[in-house]
Amino acid sequence: MNPVLLIAIPLLFAFLSIMNKKFARPLLLVALLLDVYLVFTISKGLYSIGGFSQYGINLLVDQYSLIGLMVVNVVFFLTVVTNCKEVKRLSTVLLVALAGVNGLLLTNDLFNLFVFLEIVGISAYLITSGNKRPLATFNYLVQGTVGSGLYLLGLILLYSMTGTLNMALILPTIVDKAIPLSNLALPFMLMFIGLGVEAKLLPFNSWVKGVLQNANALTSVLIAGVFATTIALTFGRLLSTVFVLGSISNIVLVILAVTMLAGEVAAFASKRIREVLLFSAIAQSGLIILLFANGLVIPAIMLIIANIVSKYILFTITGKMVDGTKTDEIESLQGVFSKNKLVGFAFTVASLSVIGLPLFFGFIVKLNILTSLFSQYQLFLSALILVVSLIEGTYFVKLLIKLWYSVGEVKTFKVDALVKVVTLIFALGLIVFGVYTKPLTDSLMTVPEEMMEAIAERGNF
């Protein structure tokens, strides 16, 4: 089965859904089901669109993009199913977003990546416009557009130096033509900043607060879960197979370390539950990109999977909670979980996993990260991650205690049975993978080699 269907089907259905507004939601569900089915049946390989081999656009399906596609499509599907009511108005936008997300994960062409980045960006602006905060959305639009503009500038500079846009051919061409590292610093820095806007890295992420502060369950899971995962995976592929950081690697490391630290400190200082979660999300994305920048692909993918699952649980429950109680001040939410024990259990598991307590998947991830950093003698980064985990642990435990133990009157909120089931299954998944990780680590084992294979074979041409 050709992976281009993963992009083409949602786009076709998006077109159809404009003509038949009534069928928009069924079409979205059908497209999502088809995509989930396709993801689990496509075979690995390099697919060139239109038969132009290295001159045209290629889609690359390897273990890395397969894992990304599986995680993202399944979570996207579950997000839409558990937020059926809010989806109605956004069906067409979500179809376009689905096409963009799949395209970002599959594409092997730098300019095509820019196009999908804009598609995902535009659908993200439209999804966040449901928050009734037009100024925050406008801010996001301006920053996103400038970011992708800078990415485009970097990519065109790279094209004028190497003469190719094929991601598998960039590195070999740089080596062949012996392009000096100092010339490459500008294009890679521009591309890094451009992607950094969408990946929520520190100086470029002032849109996040306005957008996620008032987001409902659907918006926050899509922006902080699905889109963040996709961008992180795309960024990871570029950092590990295209970018030659060289002289700018120190700047990049400082940006990422500061993102992580500042995110956690801001989360620690926040008094509102959605702010805590959004700052924690910023810190997590900083950590993910940091791992990719250090060449630790396997721990980074594990962290991405742990991240999207726990973000799904945390943001869905928070969204429903805020909808039901009409407040997101932690002080006035005291004891809410004592009336909703199942939901509270899922929330607790997810946050304990984010902290990295033993028995949960997050622990395995953190352990993996730290052992690989220590084996690289990256003592400073290991210390930083430990400090950051400590801050994270403090505010999450504080949050959990407030949410479980009541003083006085307790607010209640209603959660659909479906949401309960899905979040519980995800929470159990976090526990199961925290104890039994062999299948996951086995399937991740081959990822780095396969990523490098495409370059070594110059994309099989």
Which parts of this chain interact with another protein (CB under 8 A)?
111, 114-115, 118, 122, 125-126, 129, 134-135, 137-138, 141-142, 145-146, 149, 152-153, 156, 159-160, 165
* Shortest Cβ 311–another protein spacing (Å): 25
* Shortest Cβ 417–another protein spacing (Å): 36
The nearer residue to another protein, 7 or 78, going by C-beta atoms, is 7
The nearer residue to another protein, 159 or 345, going by C-beta atoms, is 159
* Shortest Cβ 100–another protein spacing (Å): 12
The nearer residue to another protein, 115 or 357, going by C-beta atoms, is 115
The nearer residue to another protein, 119 or 174, going by C-beta atoms, is 119
* Shortest Cβ 420–another protein spacing (Å): 35
The nearer residue to another protein, 157 or 424, going by C-beta atoms, is 157
The nearer residue to another protein, 112 or 234, going by C-beta atoms, is 112
Return all residues near 19 (Cβ < 8 A) that are at least 6 apart: none
The nearer residue to another protein, 47 or 159, going by C-beta atoms, is 159
* Shortest Cβ 148–another protein spacing (Å): 8
* Shortest Cβ 295–another protein spacing (Å): 31
> Which 3-state string (H, E, C) describes the chain?
CCCHHHHHHHHHHHHHHHHCHHHHHHHHHHHHHHHHHHHCCCCCEEEEHHHCHHHCCEEEECHHHHHHHHHHHHHHHHHHHHCHHHHHHHHHHHHHHHHHHHHHHHECEHHHHHHHHHHHHHHHHHHHHHHCCHHHHHHHHHHHHHHHHHHHHHHHHHHHHHCCCEHHHHHHHHHHHCCCHHHHHHHHHHHHHHHHHHCCCHHHCHHHHHHHCCCCHHHHHHHHHHHHHHHHHHHHHHHHHCCCCHHHHHHHHHHHHHHHHHHHHHHHHCCEHHHHHHHHHHHHHHHHHHHHHCCCHHHHHHHHHHHHHHHHHHHHHHHHHHHHHCCCECHHHCCHHHCCHHHHHHHHHHHHHHHCCCCCHHHHHHHHHHHHHHHCCCHHHHHHHHHHHHHHHHHHHHHHHHHHCCCCCCCCCCCCHHHHHHHHHHHHHHHHHHHCCHHHHHHHCCHHHHHHHHHHCHHHC
* Shortest Cβ 6–another protein spacing (Å): 21
The nearer residue to another protein, 134 or 246, going by C-beta atoms, is 134
As a whole number of angstroms, the distance between CA 427 and CA 310 comes to 8
* Shortest Cβ 56–another protein spacing (Å): 11
As a whole number of angstroms, the distance between CA 281 and CA 127 comes to 18
* Shortest Cβ 274–another protein spacing (Å): 16
Return all residues near 176 (Cβ < 8 A) that are at least 6 apart: none
The nearer residue to another protein, 44 or 89, going by C-beta atoms, is 89
* Shortest Cβ 138–another protein spacing (Å): 4
The nearer residue to another protein, 26 or 203, going by C-beta atoms, is 203
Q: Which amino acid type is present at position 426?
A: F
